Amino acid sequence: MVKVIIIGLCLILQLQASVYKQNCLSCHNKLPVSIDKFFYRYLLTYSSQAELKKQMLSYLQNPKKKKTIMPEAFISRFGIKEKTYLSKEELKSALDEYWEEYKVFGKLE
């Protein structure tokens, strides 16, 4: 019984960890601008992990031109992102994974 619970928890964690890859990268990989460029633009604008995630979550939940930090040329070419169907928890999980992938803190020598 304990093995079944542990296996179930592992599967749930694996599914949550893949929200970023399945739902974010699948579309962003089709753009000529790599996804890390979005991260660095947010990081330069908001500086902290908490503020970056807060602002990205806000934008992803309700994408509007006035909320984007992308340049006008980018918006003219690609438009504003469509509203996500992901839950707040799924978005937070994806943002956590995104942060871990591209954070610069602790990686600079």
The pLDDT of residue 109 is above 70 = no
Domain residue ranges of the chain, discontinuous segments joined by +: 2-102
For the stretch 10-67, pLDDT in tens is 555 555 557 888 888 888 888 888 888 889 999 999 989 999 999 999 999 999 999 9
Helix-then-strand count for the chain, H and E: 7, 0
What's the mean per-residue pLDDT of the chain? Answer: 84
Please give the model's pTM, rounded to 2 decimal places: 0.76
Q: 84: which residues sit within 8 A by CB, 6+ positions away?
A: 23, 60, 61, 91
